[in-house]
Amino acid sequence: MSVLNGKKILLGISGGIAAYKTASLVRLFIKAGAHVQVIMTPASKDFITPLTLSTLSKNPVYSSFYNQDDENEKWNNHVELALWADLMIIAPATANTVSKMANGTCDNLLIAAYLSAKCPVYFAPAMDLDMYKHPSTLANFTFLKQFGNTIIPAESGELASGLSGEGRMAEPEHIVAFITDDLNSKLPLKGKKILITAGPTYEAIDPVRFIGNHSSGKMGFDIASSAANLGASVILISGPTNCTVSNPLIHVIPVVSAEEMYLACHQFYADVDAVVAAAAVADYRPKHVAQQKIKKAATNFVIELEKTKDILASLGLLKKNQFLIGFALETENEIENAKLKIQKKNLDLIVLNSLQDEGAGFGKATNKVTFIDKFFHIESMELKSKEAVAADILNKIMMHFGMQR
């Protein structure tokens, strides 16, 4: 999954011949899963039509402060456009537009939106080689970088003047790759490895029957997706579930039984920075597993059970620098039981669920949790989607590592 997936991109287009390439640029952003809103300078419409860009972006294209052809003239709010965006990209950024950006010359809608932007801004210069290397242009580049803007370096090649050299706007594919690489390098959990367990375990009775539970795995999978979207490399050890992931940073290890999950956790534990044990692991398993399907015969049937290995407690014993998070699903004395679990299993944080809370528990899209840390600080959260709860859990991990989203 691209880091651009779901991002709201405000694409500013100024009046240079390279504007014709922005049709491809819009398509690449859309293909990466981004939402694109285009602002054009009046001059840029001589090189590519607003209709083309509106069709590709599936949004209206703005180029003036109000809709001049509308009988009921409507102001195009540059502040709303700027605040809507997660990213602003100005491509092509002509020498004229770069100068206006650097000096705050606000004479068109694009510059007004730029001056109102609170999001990261990228600009891709496009001009002739002498203009690109002129001291005034270089000074403007320096100003913009000091403002926190990021330059996408121009490329060398044949220019509109007929000369050949540096000044061509980077190709659309290169612009997308540059922004993607830059965003990935700045993700807060870049370089961190997180182990996550999810789903139920099935403990075999015979070849066709098992002891299990109602866990869907959704909570663990949402935590994995949230961690990967923040740049972490994720090892997701999952019991049987219908949940899926698409992010290449998530390595899924399918298991069935508690014993298989125990072995998988211990295989990877030494190399991870954090563990989120969200799986609903069976506490007991049949002591003897029948090799053939058990036939219905006697009125009463007894299965002798034995305890499974306590995965979380075993990880707590081996803990060195790992940040260890467990889950607790309780039906009574929730807080006290969760505190005991923190102590017995050497946890840093526990995520407490109560079946007493409406909207929480197995098989639901929502969850209501209480965070309790190893110092017994308690933080009760409201009912949220499991995606939002996953984000809260990742915030706890980032706080532990001194990072911010």
Which residues are tagged catalytic?
A: 213
Bridge partner residues of 303 (DSSP):
none
Which residues carry a binding-site annotation?
283, 293, 327, 341, 345
User: Could you give the CA distance from residue 154 to residue 134 in angstroms, rounded to a whole number?
Assistant: 14
User: Could you give the CA distance from residue 200 to residue 205 in angstroms, rounded to a whole number?
Assistant: 16
Cβ–Cβ < 8 Å for 269, 277 = no
Between the alpha carbon of residue 195 and those of residues 140, 232, 278, the distances in Å are 46, 10, 10
Chain position carrying tokens 């306590």:
310
Which residues carry a binding-site annotation for CTP?
283, 293, 327, 341, 345
Between the alpha carbon of residue 390 and those of residues 43, 247, 276, 311, 368, the distances in Å are 46, 16, 10, 21, 11
| Alpha-helical runs (H) found in 74-215 | 78-84, 95-103, 109-116, 129-132, 135-146, 172-185
For residue 161, count CB atoms less than 10 angstroms from its CB and return exposed for 0-12, middle for 13-18, buried for 19 or more. middle
Chain position carrying tokens 């219908």:
242
**Quick one: which of 141, 153, 111 has its CA closest to 13?**
111
Bridge partner residues of 242 (DSSP):
none
